[in-house]
């Protein structure tokens, strides 16, 4: 990696949930430009992943708003500040550079450098659920994959896909043309996926281009990380083995603290302790806001996260523009703020 | 009123139950090892429990969306699998027995 490949910015925000998004706004008012990283492929965190259609009633001045609507409105509100998003990437390293900046790396080899890093990692990164099959770890990343990054990797493979949602169906359809064989396994003969994908999958099954089993994977066979077959259990025909060299389980996502645990920050029961003046961690220049932080009286509410973002931005400003004086202004009356917002 | 919860390690806990709470909320309130990540909005299946067979008939049957979520995201489903956030505790359920299913543990 050469120096040019490193993206330099003012602030790196880990997590594009509601709190990470609003932080862009508060930072933007203070002329601080932000990049955001999220392992999900879209903004909104818990609001869009867990409850996009559910109403939220305790956002000040919005009597009712759904998780998706709140996210859409935040995205609209921060547009003037042109935040840059790095989606589908896990922030997995944090280190100090020789110039005293913070360098954040992702699992997709993006490198970002900034004077401040804001951890808005919420309940943790959304990661695939792992089926509790004995010994599955032994096969992970050699034969068992929870996500498809590069399709080519699966050319000419004998693939077993398990699950009954959109991911399972989409990858069945996408990989079937290039794989040696595809077997789809689901617990019942009903699928919670786009009707069009279900129809296409049924056609492939009827034409014997894929195999469909109504069963549950219960054991993996193989050695040295190389899968040889998967044992399935079905209600009607008992247990049987399906020969395959690759398995892709798709059982939805769950939140796990993930790599943030290895950033060398203080942790208190998987949360990051901060002060309540600046919402800074024990490491200067590293902030934690939203559901991920901990302090006496903390409430895991969107409202609290918004407040934390505003106070965090004040201190971030001092790091990023040390020679400038912080001026308290209202968006209502400050023409310079209105210019930044593009309304003037 | 009480319910008996067997955790993922096989330890039995007899805990006080409040009418009007969901069984998931009761378990969570006693700090047992249940993730219940979505707080009861049927989008996580991390509140999966096995209901003691003797009690199964006393519960209202699962709605379609509960069954859908179980099938999509829970592991090791059995005939007596339920999502505990969908079971409302009432007086009739005093003494209810259940076991926390694999995959419901909080992060270590
Ligand atoms: C069902 C439900 C209903 C709720 N209702 C309300 C309500 O009515 N009112 C209210 O105020 N709150 C409510 N909440 C809580 C609210 O959703 C949270 O407080 C809020 O989402 C926290 O926002 P956040 O930005 O801190 O974190 P999150 O929304 O959790 O977002 C964090 C993001 O960071 C990402 N991330 C974490 N680590 C990494 C990493 N290393 N690399 C890349 N990405 C990473 C995650 O993938 C995630 O997208 C509800 C929550 C649930 C589950
Ligand atoms: S708590 Fe998420 S489905 Fe019950």
Cα-to-chain-centroid distance, residue A24: 17
One domain, residues A87 and A152: no
What CA–CA distance (Å, rounded) separates A262 from A44? 24
What CA–CA distance (Å, rounded) separates A66 from A58? 11
Spans of chain B below 70 pLDDT: 108
Spans of chain A below 50 pLDDT: 3
Identify the three-state secondary structure at position B59: coil
According to the 3-state scheme, what is the secondary structure of A265-294?
A: CCCECCEEECCCCCCECCCCCEEECHHHEE
Instruction: Look at residue A118 in the predicted model and tell me its pLDDT.
Output: 98
What CA–CA distance (Å, rounded) separates A154 from A253? 22
Q: Are A309 and A19 in contact (CB under 8 A)?
A: yes
Q: What is the CATH number of the domain that holds A231?
A: 3.50.50.60
Report the half-sphere exposure of A255 (CA within 13 A, side-chain side). Answer: 22
**Cα-atom radius of gyration of chain B, to the nearest Å?**
12
Instruction: Look at residue A92 in the predicted model and tell me its pLDDT.
Output: 96
Total count of domains within chain A: 2
Domain that holds residue A187: 130-251
Q: Å from A204 to nearest chain B CA? A: 21
Last residue of a domain, one of A251, A276, A305: A251
Q: Is A100 on the interface with B (CB under 8 A)?
A: no
What percent of chain A lies above the pLDDT cut of 90? 90
Which of A202, A108, A111, A205 lies closest to A149, judged by CA? Answer: A108
Q: Are A295 and A274 in contact (CB under 8 A)?
A: yes
Identify the three-state secondary structure at position A128: strand
What φ, ψ does residue B99 adopt, rounded to 5°? -130, 135
Which of A210, A60, A105 lies closest to A202, judged by CA? Answer: A210
Instruction: Look at residue B107 in the predicted model and tell me its pLDDT.
Output: 79
Instruction: Look at residue A192 in the predicted model and tell me its pLDDT.
Output: 86
Convert the pLDDT of each residue in B62-77 to its tens digit. 999 999 899 889 988 8
One domain, residues A325 and A243: no
One domain, residues A59 and A78: yes
Which of A69, A24, A63 lies closest to A44, judged by CA? Answer: A69
Which of A118, A116, A117, A113 lies closest to A7, judged by CA? Answer: A113
Instruction: Look at residue A150 in the predicted model and tell me its pLDDT.
Output: 87
pTM of the model: 0.89
Instruction: Look at residue A132 in the predicted model and tell me its pLDDT.
Output: 84
Instruction: Look at residue A201 in the predicted model and tell me its pLDDT.
Output: 98
Instruction: Look at residue B16 in the predicted model and tell me its pLDDT.
Output: 96
Residue spans per domain, chain B? 2-100
One domain, residues A259 and A123: yes
Q: Are B82 and B99 in contact (CB under 8 A)?
A: no
Instruction: Look at residue A5 in the predicted model and tell me its pLDDT.
Output: 86
Which of A18, A20, A6 lies closest to A279, judged by CA? Answer: A20
Last residue of a domain, one of A201, A221, A251: A251
Ligand 2 lined by B85 (C-beta under 6 Å):
yes
Instruction: Look at residue A327 in the predicted model and tell me its pLDDT.
Output: 86
CATH number for B2-100 (one of 2.60.40.10, 3.30.390.30, 3.40.640.10, 3.10.20.30): it is: 3.10.20.30
One domain, residues A144 and A239: yes
Which of A252, A78, A41, A234 lies closest to A166, judged by CA? Answer: A252
Please say whether the dihedral angle defined by the alpha carbons of residues A165, A167, A168 and A169, taken in this order, is positive or negative: positive
One domain, residues A198 and A300: no
Instruction: Look at residue A149 in the predicted model and tell me its pLDDT.
Output: 83
Task: From chain B, pick out residues whose CB is under 8 angstroms from the CB of A131.
Answer: 75
What CA–CA distance (Å, rounded) separates A87 from A84? 10
Nearest ligand, CA A300: 1
Look-up of token digits 């005939």: B79
One domain, residues A173 and A100: no
Contact B107 A257 (CB under 8 A): yes
Contact A270 B102 (CB under 8 A): no
The angle formed by the CA atoms of residues A30, A40 and A256, to the nearest 5 degrees, is: 100
Instruction: Look at residue A344 in the predicted model and tell me its pLDDT.
Output: 79
Identify the three-state secondary structure at position A61: coil
ipTM confidence score: 0.80
Residue A37 CA: nearest ligand 1 atom is: 43
Instruction: Look at residue A4 in the predicted model and tell me its pLDDT.
Output: 52
Q: Are A120 and A253 in contact (CB under 8 A)?
A: no
Which of A144, A125, A140 lies closest to A261, judged by CA? Answer: A125
Last residue of a domain, one of A234, A251, A268: A251
Ligand 1 pocket by C-beta < 6 Å: which residues?
A: A 14-20, 37-40, 45-47, 50-51, 56, 58, 90-91, 120-126, 258-260, 290-291, 300-303, 305; B 38-39, 41
Instruction: Look at residue A302 in the predicted model and tell me its pLDDT.
Output: 98
Cross-strand pairs, A219: A231
What CA–CA distance (Å, rounded) separates A106 from A94? 9
């Amino acid at each position: 990696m050469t120096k040019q490949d490193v993206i330099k910015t003012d602030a790196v925000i880990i997590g594009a949930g509601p709190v990470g998004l609003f932080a862009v706004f508060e930072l933007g008012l203070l002329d601080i430009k932000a990049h955001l990283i999220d392992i999900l492929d879209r903004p909104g965190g818990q609001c869009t992943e867990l409850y996009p259609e559910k109403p939220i009633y305790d956002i000040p001045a919005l009597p009712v708003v759904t998780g998706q609507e709140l996210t859409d409105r935040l995205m609209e509100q921060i547009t003037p500040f042109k935040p840059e998003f790095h989606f589908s990437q896990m922030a997995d390293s944090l280190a100090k550079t020789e110039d005293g900046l913070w360098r954040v790396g992702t699992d997709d080899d993006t490198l970002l450098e900034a004077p401040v890093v804001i951890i808005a990692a919420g309940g943790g990164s959304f990661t695939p659920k792992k089926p509790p099959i004995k010994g599955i770890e032994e096969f992970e990343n050699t034969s068992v994959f929870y996500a498809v990054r590069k399709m080519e990797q699966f050319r000419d493979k004998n693939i077993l896909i398990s699950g009954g949602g959109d991911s399972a169906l989409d990858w069945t359809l996408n990989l079937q043309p290039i794989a040696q064989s595809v077997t789809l396994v689901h617990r019942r003969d009903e699928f919670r996926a786009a009707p069009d994908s279900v129809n296409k999958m049924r056609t492939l099954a009827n034409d014997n281009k894929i195999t469909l089993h109504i069963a549950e994977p219960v054991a993996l066979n193989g050695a040295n990380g190389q899968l040889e077959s998967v044992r399935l259990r079905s209600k009607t025909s008992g247990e049987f083995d399906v020969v395959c060299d690759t398995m892709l389980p798709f059982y939805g996502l769950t939140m796990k603290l993930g790599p943030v645990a290895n950033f060398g920050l203080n942790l208190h029961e998987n949360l990051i302790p901060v002060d309540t003046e600046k919402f800074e961690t024990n490491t200067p220049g590293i902030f934690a806001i939203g559901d991920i932080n901990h302090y006496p009286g903390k409430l895991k509410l969107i409202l609290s996260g918004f407040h934390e973002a505003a106070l965090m931005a004040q201190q971030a400003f001092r790091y990023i523009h040390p020679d400038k004086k912080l001026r308290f202004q209202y968006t209502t009356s400050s023409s310079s703020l209105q210019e930044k917002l593009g309304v003037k | 009123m009480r319910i008996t919860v067997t955790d993922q390690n096989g330890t039995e806990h007899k805990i006080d139950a409040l009418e009007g709470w969901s069984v998931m909320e009761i378990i969570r309130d006693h700090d047992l090892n249940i993730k219940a990540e979505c707080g009861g909005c049927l989008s996580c299946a991390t509140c999966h429990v096995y209901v003691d067979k003797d009690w199964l008939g006393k519960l209202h049957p699962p709605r379609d969306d509960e069954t859908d979520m179980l099938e999509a995201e829970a592991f090791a489903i059995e005939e007596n699998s339920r999502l505990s956030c969908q079971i409302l505790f009432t007086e009739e359920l005093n003494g209810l027995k259940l076991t926390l299913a694999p995959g419901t543990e909080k992060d270590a």
